[in-house]
Amino acid sequence: MTLKKHISVSKQIFIPIAALVLLAVFNLLVDPAFFKISLGHNSAGDPVLTGYLMTILDYGSEVAILAIGMTLVTAASGGQDISVGAAVAIAGSVILRILVGIGGDGSLRAPIFVGFLAACVVSMLFGAFNGMLVAVFKIQPMVATLILYTAGRSIAAWINNNELPIVTDKSFTYFGGFIPGIPIPTPFFLAVVCIVAALLALKFTNLGLYTQAVGINASSSRLNGINPVFIKWLSFVLLGLCVAVVGLIKTSRLSSINYSVIAKDIEMDAILAVALGGNALSGGKFNIMASIMGAYVIQFLTTTLYKFNVSSDALPAYKAVVVILLVVISSPTVKDKLIGLQKRMKQQKGGGQS
Amino acid sequence: MTKAQTAKSGPASAKTKMTDTNLLLLITVIVFIIMYAGAMLFLKKGFLKPQTFLNILNANSALIITSCGMSIVMITGGIDISVGGVVALVSMSCAVYLDYQGGSVFGSLLIALGIGLAFGAVQGFLVAYLDIQPFIVSLAGMFFARGMTTIVHTAPFNVANEAFVALKGARILIPGLGTVTKAGKYVDAYVVLGVPVALLIVVLLFLVLRFTKLGRSFYAVGGNRQSALMLGINVKRTRFLAHLLCGLLAGIGGYVYFLYVGSGSASHAGGMEMNAIASSIIGGTLLSGGVGNIFGTFVGVLSLNTIQNIVSSIGLDDAWWTGITVAGMLCVFLIIQSVLLARKR
């Protein structure tokens, strides 16, 4: 039993790794300079590592953080949250509202930590709202989150009265850039913190087990004493926490915010990461590490496409093709067909030998 | 009236569902009438002019058409969020064809229908025959359409093709509903060409859903896929046809939209899928499938736009209020639906 489980898990993480190897080989053949990492200095004179791989590590971390929450939501509710991009805009807006405020001069009015905490609370509240619609009112997750997807960016603009506060304080740029003296982008460390926290939570609590149980069969898990409403709701609240972290990174990168563009289409990347990680999009079993791996693979793909001068507006078209290919390959119908084909070939082979 | 009709003609097993349809439709119609009457009483300004109402139709004929497609897919238990992207892609492709390729208006119409059918066919195949979640399929469809739009042409531009501009400017005057301007001149009320197209589609689909075998099988598949299968309905083909129809309607809606705005842009029809879903839900189409009414969807579009007009005319005309209003209304109606469903269980 444990052996079987072990094999299935390693198989799951095999998908993103295979995709990663494929992409890496492709880049290696086309242009080996893709893998070059050089030590440079940023505008502040601090040593930083630059190169395509560093970009992947940097921007992939945002998706990885969201992928943690998205995996839990997917596993528990059997649907995805499509409002994360809009929610990141809200979180970022809250941070800027607390730190600079309307009509502020750019200096910090409150410690960054306070701004971040406020963003956490607000994001978790919005997560709780989504979770309530899904868990209590039993609305399909994607349609329930459609509400925030529609209203989110408007709410974000409203929080700051449609102004674009700019933070001039240097220390705020650390979260989305580099901490002086450390040449590795900070978002990577934030991602590591989130990942470790998530893994510890899964290891030492029943969260993972309960989530899977609810995702596989909500009514039978209820009969076993698990509260499926609470578990589903909790997964959305936890996703809210992930959203707040990404909101901090995103606003820190710009030291400001652009309501209509910030974290645009990031929900697509996060869902794609979950799918690429081999997790069933219809809920149930999940593997957080595979999702995180998937997130970095997505960023690898994005960076590769950027390198070939694909404009950021045209990018979704290519990603959409990848998504469709992924879901087609992993769809049960095609799987059955493939297995049938394999069997037939084996039979033919056997027939030929005898 | 319709209640009595359906109660008589509908099979006994479908009775409770039919009541749900009518109840949801009734709520929508009442909400719409109260809103519009309230606006007429308290906000006088424009709401008393018939042209204000006709302008809602003018500006939203494309939304009405795409919402009808959305409703059909939702009745079969699916969803299609690619319609906004398809509309943008149709506008851009037709614009490029007319201005850069020297194409004819008829040719551009064929392009619009072709794009719509292609999206409908591919998504329908993936959803119906490969059994992939409709949301994921159409999410990818939406991103693909949006991406393709910028690949076709990046910068937005206005179409200068003469035949097209003439068609775009065509007005159908409605005598008797005109108003007298401040200068004392009588101005006839008018609608653009898209409005009769939209109304025709609403009536046609209403009849198809109510009286044809295909229409009834949409409801059957959405209501309970397993029993539909037992009844001998080809479930896969029905779901495929629903998506195909939705794609086709998105294509037609795209052309009507293009006719209204007369330009191609990657940012066209942003959020139209949201509005189409919201209209369908407000119009009484259940997300879980099996329940819905095209006439309700039509009223849903009108309600959605009336409330937006009201919100902007009471002074909340900042851009963000539109998004928040639509979301708020969607939320309220979703919760009504959920409560209704829970009661039924």
Asked if the B20-344 domain carries CATH number 1.10.3470, the reply is yes
What stretch of H or E contains B76?
A: none
Kindly provide the residue ranges of all beta strands, DSSP E only, lying in B69-115, ordered along the sequence. Answer: none
Same domain, A121 and A200: yes
Same domain, A110 and A6: yes
Question: Cβ contact (<8 Å) for A151 and B274?
Answer: no
> What is the mean pLDDT of the segment spanning B94-100?
89
Same domain, A323 and A224: no
Q: Which of B167, B3, B263, B138 is nearest to A323 (CA)?
A: B138
Residues in chain A: 354
Q: Which residues, other chains included, contact B167 with Cβ-Cβ below 8 Å and sequence gap of 6+?
A: B105, B193, B259
Provide the residue ranges of all domains of chain B, joining segments of one domain with +. 20-344
CA distance B278 to A304: 37
Residue from the list A79, A154, A323 with its beta carbon closest to the beta carbon of B323: A154
Burial class (CB within 10 angstroms; exposed 0-12, middle 13-18, buried 19+) of A99: buried
Please tell me the distance in Å from B176's CA to the nearest CA on chain A: 39
Domain assignment of residue A330, given as a range: 314-354
Number of structural domains chain A divides into: 2
> What is the mean pLDDT of the segment spanning B321-329?
80
Residue A6, token pair as written in the block: 């072990």
CATH of the domain at A279: 1.10.3470
Question: Cβ contact (<8 Å) for B320 and A162?
Answer: yes
pTM above 0.90, yes or no: no
Same domain, A210 and A332: no
pLDDT tier, A24 (very low <50, low <70, confident <90, very high otherwise): confident
Same domain, A295 and A332: no
Position B149, amino acid: T
Please tell me the distance in Å from B169's CA to the nearest CA on chain A: 32
Please tell me the distance in Å from A265's CA to the nearest CA on chain B: 9
CA distance B175 to B194: 18
ipTM over cut 0.90: no
B334: contact with A, CB 8 A cutoff? yes
Same domain, A330 and A296: no
pLDDT higher than 90, residue B242: yes
Q: Check if the beta carbon of residue A76 is closer than 8 Å to that of residue A207.
A: no
pLDDT at B177: 66
pLDDT higher than 50, residue B233: yes
Q: Which residues, other chains included, contact B182 with Cβ-Cβ below 8 Å and sequence gap of 6+?
A: none
Residue to test with chain B: of A150, A161, A266, most B Cβ within 10 A: A150
Q: Which residues, other chains included, contact A151 with Cβ-Cβ below 8 Å and sequence gap of 6+?
A: A86, B323, B324, B326, B327, B328
Question: Cβ contact (<8 Å) for A281 and B140?
Answer: no
CA distance A65 to A191: 6
Residue B41, token pair as written in the block: 């009483």
Which has more confidence, A228 or A313?
Answer: A228
Residue A182, token pair as written in the block: 């450390």
Same domain, A89 and A183: yes
Q: Which residues, other chains included, contact A353 with Cβ-Cβ below 8 Å and sequence gap of 6+?
A: none
Average pLDDT, chain A: 85
Residues in chain B: 345
Residue from the list B277, B327, B338 with its beta carbon closest to the beta carbon of A137: B338
Residues 213-272 of B with CB under 8 A from A: 266, 271
Same domain, A119 and A148: yes
> What is the mean pLDDT of the segment spanning B154-165?
84
B133: contact with A, CB 8 A cutoff? yes
Please tell me the distance in Å from A179's CA to the nearest CA on chain B: 35
> What is the mean pLDDT of the segment spanning B153-175?
83
Same domain, A257 and A287: yes
pLDDT higher than 90, residue B4: no
Same domain, A156 and A257: yes
Same domain, A349 and A228: no
Question: Cβ contact (<8 Å) for B130 and A265?
Answer: no
Q: Check if the beta carbon of residue A123 is closer than 8 Å to that of residue A87.
A: yes
Question: Cβ contact (<8 Å) for A314 and B342?
Answer: no
Average pLDDT, chain B: 83
